[in-house]
Amino acid sequence: MAIIKLDVNGSIWERCFTVFPLVLVGSREPDGSYDIAPKHLAIPASWQNHYAFVCAPHHSTYSNIKEHGEFTVSYPRPTQIVATSLAADPRAENQSKPALRAVPTFPADTVDGVLVKDAYLFLECRLKQIVDALGDNSLIIGDIVAAQLDDHYLRTSDQDDQELIHAAPLLAYLYPGRFTQIDQSYSFPFPKGFKR
């Protein structure tokens, strides 16, 4: 095996595949309608129910959240890859996203937003902080104020984790430009006494 030095003067992320979640972030538009946009640089930001994702300031998602202070996150299933792709459709000249009409949604309970039907995990967030100037991007951090989960994805003590993942597979984005379904997993070999 040879180790190759990468040029860090540009983005290194196109030089190999890396694994990310793929989520759909919902935000309220200035006209009162709702936008949904796929994001893959998205993670829990703490063990205390904070959620964060990367967004460019010139995107409507950024300005919508900055203006209204709320957003939603839907975790799509592998079977929803087409709907997830439709949410990435470019805006028309009038700034609408006609392809979103094909993405079914339902109203959020706590924030002013919508969630994507048939996803498996739903988060409703209030804006906590925006960290700007990360190159051309920003980190949007929210407090999770409500969450819902499809019961097929709920971990319980009476079901093996591998059986759960096999029965309820997860969608993963392999940047750049690929996706996969995760339906097999293995227990991580934590050292004895390990604590988070």
> What's the pLDDT tens digit per position in 17-72?
999 999 999 999 999 999 999 999 999 999 999 999 999 999 999 999 999 999 99
pLDDT for residue 194? 86
**Residues in the chain, total:** 196
Instruction: With respect to residue 84, please indicate whether it lies within any of the assigned structural domains.
Output: yes
Q: Dihedrals φ, ψ of 114, to 5°?
A: -125, 155
Note if the bond before 176 is cis, omega within 30 degrees: yes
Residue 122's domain comprises 18-152
How many independent structural domains does the chain possess?
Answer: 1
pLDDT for residue 158? 92
Instruction: With respect to residue 11, please indicate whether it lies within any of the assigned structural domains.
Output: no
**Nearest residue to 123 via CA among 19, 56, 26:** 26
Non-local CB neighbours of 190 within 8 Å, separated by 6+ positions: none
pLDDT for residue 171? 98
Instruction: With respect to residue 65, please indicate whether it lies within any of the assigned structural domains.
Output: yes
Distance CA 43, CA 53 (A): 6
pLDDT for residue 58? 95
Instruction: With respect to residue 9, please indicate whether it lies within any of the assigned structural domains.
Output: no
**pLDDT band for position 196 (50/70/90)?**
confident
CA distances from 26 to 18, 38, 144 (A): 24, 9, 14
Write 94-102 long-range contacts (CB < 8 A, 24+). 95/60, 96/33, 97/35, 97/36, 100/35, 100/36
Instruction: With respect to residue 164, please indicate whether it lies within any of the assigned structural domains.
Output: no
Instruction: With respect to residue 101, please indicate whether it lies within any of the assigned structural domains.
Output: yes
pLDDT for residue 107? 98
Non-local CB neighbours of 35 within 8 Å, separated by 6+ positions: 26, 27, 28, 29, 60, 61, 64, 97, 100
> Do 24 and 87 meet the contact criterion of CB atoms below 8 Å apart?
yes
Number of H helices, E strands in the chain: 3, 12
Q: Is 158 helix (H, G, I), strand (E, B) or coil?
A: coil
Distance CA 17, CA 59 (A): 25
pLDDT for residue 91? 86
pTM, two decimal places: 0.95
CATH of residue 103: 2.30.110.10
Instruction: With respect to residue 180, please indicate whether it lies within any of the assigned structural domains.
Output: no
Instruction: With respect to residue 37, please indicate whether it lies within any of the assigned structural domains.
Output: yes
> What's the pLDDT tens digit per position in 107-154?
999 999 999 999 999 999 999 999 999 999 999 999 999 999 999 999
Distance CA 129, CA 142 (A): 7
